[in-house]
Amino acid sequence: QTISFDRPDEKMVYFDLDVSDAEGIGTVEVVASGNGERSSYKVELDVVNTNPVSTVSKELILEANATQALDFETFGVTGTNTATVEFSTLPSMDFTGRMQYLIQYPHGCVEQVTSSAFPQLYLADIFDLTFDKKQEIDVNIKKAVEKLGHFQTPNGGMSYWMGQNTANDWGTSYAGHFMIEAQKKGYVLPLTFMNNWLKYQQEAARSWRPSYRIYHSDLAQAYRLYTLALAGHADLASMNRLREFNEISNDAKWRLAAAYALAGQKEAATKIANTANIEFTAKNGDYYTYGSVDRNRAMAMETMILTGNTQYREQAEYIAKQLSSNRWMSTQTTAYSLLAMAKMVEVSGGKDIGLSFTTNGTGKEDISSKKAIAQRNLKIK
C-alpha cells in the first residue's frame, strides 16, 4: 500500500492476511520504504483454527482369513490431518475417537481433568499399543496426577476450580477414585494427598444424613462410600445407614452395592443389587453429580461385573452402541462409559488378534497380540 506524508506524522495502514493454509506460529514481515530509505520489522502471529476438530470414521467387519481394502481421504486444513486404524475383537465402540475427544478437550475443572486421564489408566491393559503411544499415555496420566494435587483444599477435599477453598462433593469422590486407581497402577501421588483425602471422605461419610430435598445426595454418599471401600477403608456403619434409607434411589443402590462388593460383603451387595433395576431414567439435579442416564448405566454395569451379574453383557452392548454413535456425550459420561468397557474387558477379555495390513500397498505390518484391541497410526501423504 502507498501512503503520503507532507509533514512528520503517524498514519495507520491495514492489511488483510489470508491464513486459511496456515496454523501455529507464523511470521509476518512489514517493509516500509520511502525517500531512499528502507525499514523492515518482523512479528510473530499465532494462527489458531477456530473450527472444531472434525473426525470421520469408517467401519467394516472382517471375517476370518479374509482380505479387504479400506479407502480413506484426508480433509480439512493441510498439515493438520491424522489417521488411525483400529482392530478389535470386541463390539465396535469407537474407543479411539471418544478417547481423543477427552484428551483434546480444553480441560480446566476437577471433573474434566479427571475425565481426560481416567480411561487412559486401562488402555495398556486392553490395547496393543506402540512404545511411543505407551509413553504418551504415561505422560498424560502423570500430568493429571500432579495437576489434581493442586485442587486439594486444606481440609483434604477437592475444589471444582483450582484455587478455590470449598470442596466439591462429587468432584472429591471422582478425582479421588482416579487417584486410587492410578496408585494401584504404580503412579506416585503427591506426598500427603491420600491421607488428607481419606480424612475428608471419612468425615463427610460419617456426618452425612438422608435428605429428601437435595437431589442425588444419596448417590453422592454411595459414591463416597465406594471410594473408601476401594481405598481399603470401608465404612460399614455409614454403608448400613444408607442402606436403611427408605427413599434411596435406584442409581444409589447400584453404587452402594459396589461398595459392599469391594468391602468383601458379596451377599449384601447382591441383595441390594437385586432391589435395583436397569430402567435408568433422567432426573432433576443430574448436574449435581455431572451425570446422565448413560453415566449411571455405566456405573451400574461396573457393579454387575463386581457382583458377577451376567446382565453386564447386555449393558455393555448398549454402551458400545452409544460410544460408536455420533451423538454428543459429556466428558464424564464418555469417561465412565470407557472405564466400564475397560473393566469388562479386564474380566471377560476378548479374543486374540492376529492379522497383517499394508498402507498404500507397501509397509506390511504383522500384529499378533493377546489384547482385544490394536491401534496403529497411519502415515499421511
Cβ within 8 Å of residue 342, ≥6 positions away:
119, 122, 123, 125, 126
Domain membership of residue 76 (yes or no) is: no
Cβ within 8 Å of residue 216, ≥6 positions away:
249, 251, 252, 283, 285, 286, 288, 289, 291
Residue 80 to residues 13, 42, 62, 130, 360: CA-CA distances in angstroms?
A: 32, 25, 30, 22, 20
Domain membership of residue 257 (yes or no) is: yes
Say if residues 224 and 173 touch (Cβ distance below 8 Å): yes
Lowest mean pLDDT across 24-33, 219-228, 243-252, 305-314: 24-33
What is the per-residue pLDDT across 157-193, written as a single tens digit (0 to 9) for each?
A: 999 999 999 999 999 999 999 999 999 999 999 999 9
Domain membership of residue 165 (yes or no) is: yes
Domain membership of residue 41 (yes or no) is: no
Say if residues 129 and 377 touch (Cβ distance below 8 Å): no
Domain membership of residue 306 (yes or no) is: yes
Most confident of 125-129, 249-253, 288-292, 377-381: 249-253
Centre a 10 Å sphere on the Cβ of residue 113 and count the other Cβ atoms it contains.
24
Give me the mean pLDDT over the 236-243 stretch. Answer: 97
Higher-confidence residue: 298 or 127? 298
Residue with cell 497411519: 378
Domain membership of residue 40 (yes or no) is: no
Domain that holds residue 323: 93-356
Predicted confidence band at 214 (pLDDT cuts at 50, 70, 90)? Answer: low
Closest CA to 59 of 323, 315, 316, 337: 323
What was the pLDDT predicted at 59? 78
Residue with cell 506402540: 130
Residue 136 has pLDDT above 70, yes or no: yes
CATH number of the CATH domain containing 163 = 1.50.10.20
Domain membership of residue 172 (yes or no) is: yes
Higher-confidence residue: 79 or 72? 72
Domain membership of residue 176 (yes or no) is: yes
Say if residues 148 and 179 touch (Cβ distance below 8 Å): yes
The total domain count for the chain is: 1
